[in-house]
Amino acid sequence: MKVASANGVKVELHDLGGTGPHMLMSHANGFHGLCWKPVAANLNKRFHCYAHDHRGHGDTAAPKDWKVAWSGYAADATAAAKAVAQKGGIIGVGHSMGGATLLLTAMKHPELFRGLLLYEPILFPDDVRRPANRPNVLAEGAARRKPSFKSLDEAIKNYSSKLPMSHFTPEALEAYVHGGFRKGDDGLMHLKCSPELESENFKNPNIPNLWKKLPEIGIPVWVLSGHPEPFQPSGFAEAIADRLPKGNHIEYSDLDHFGPFVDPVRIARIIDTFADTLEP
């Protein structure tokens, strides 16, 4: 279903099924809400899971001539959280960009959440700047991403032979491809999130004021990460948790930035454990 966000954006909200308290899952740059299906499948006996598509991703269209801004993505996450809100708050689960948008939402609307579990949220300390001579590998890689395939099967075959998606479970890769492409008038399957938009997001990782205001977010937040790498989200995950009044950091040294799709069962298990620590 569609829910209203800012600038006339209609945010696609996916019902991933299940019964119980509501959980909202927020996706990474270049991904979409349906990528969370393998994780949600391991939580559906206890939670009713939802996931949204940020503007320009999945089935949520970006406004015409929209200039990439974190405020827009935060507005989308806020609209989705309000749409599934419950008395006492919901649980928010976010990956990368999706983790940052949930933090932005919680900063302004803490009453919406019982707690947040975030896997390597995109957030850098205010005093950290990328060295001028260090290439932006993520932005450059996204810009080169192949935008079209003859079929979904061809896309799956392509991704399954290349990092990082070659490490995804078959179910996770299928969820990414089946929700991330649409058929064009030319008969080809085209990425819903354009390589240009994905690349532009990677060029603008700094979120104004969020680092400064992390101590104001009083709800429980668990920050998960894979093996820490310099100038990557994994390298700042522990620092993010330390700035949060009720923050907790957990490192999985055998995982990378795409942990939720490399091991969705393990990520679901830690979400379940996190929920046990929250007040009803």
56-65, 71-80, 106-115, 138-147 — which is least confidently predicted? 138-147
- For the segment 193-214, the average pLDDT, to the nearest whole number, is 89
The predicted pLDDT at position 5 comes to 86
Does the pLDDT value for residue 161 go beyond 70? Answer: yes
Three-state secondary structure call for residue 114: strand
User: Percentage of the chain with pLDDT > 70?
Assistant: 98
When the pLDDT of each residue in the chain is averaged and rounded to a whole number, the result is 94
The predicted pLDDT at position 129 comes to 66
2-11, 53-62, 137-146 — which is least confidently predicted? 137-146
Beta-sheet pairing, 10-17 with 2-4:
antiparallel
CA–CA separation, 256 vs 262, rounded Å? 8
| Strand ordering across the sheet containing 10-17 | 2-4, 10-17, 48-52, 22-26, 90-95, 113-119, 221-225, 247-251
Does the pLDDT value for residue 142 go beyond 90? Answer: no
- For the segment 65-88, the average pLDDT, to the nearest whole number, is 95
DSSP string, 166-207: GGS-HHHHHHHHHHHEEE-TTS-EEESS-HHHHHHHHH----
Which of 203 and 31 is assigned the larger pLDDT? Answer: 31
Total number of domains constituting the chain: 1
CA–CA separation, 98 vs 83, rounded Å? 17
Identity of the amino acid at 195: P
Does the pLDDT value for residue 209 go beyond 90? Answer: no
The predicted pLDDT at position 126 comes to 79
Structure tokens belonging to residue 176: 């990414």
Contact assessment for residue 244 and residue 115, using Cβ atoms and an 8 Å cutoff:
no
Does the pLDDT value for residue 130 go beyond 70? Answer: no
Please report, for residues 109, 160, 195, the alpha-carbon distance to residue 105 in angstroms, rounded to integers and kept in the order given: 6, 34, 26
The predicted pLDDT at position 148 comes to 97
pLDDT band at 7 (very low <50, low <70, confident <90, very high): confident
The predicted pLDDT at position 243 comes to 97
Structure tokens belonging to residue 150: 């003859």
- For the segment 37-48, the average pLDDT, to the nearest whole number, is 97
Confidence (pTM): 0.95
Does the pLDDT value for residue 137 go beyond 80? Answer: no
Does the pLDDT value for residue 128 go beyond 90? Answer: no
Domain range for 191: 2-277
CA–CA separation, 280 vs 277, rounded Å? 9
- Looking up residue 33, the CATH number of its domain turns out to be 3.40.50.1820
The predicted pLDDT at position 132 comes to 63
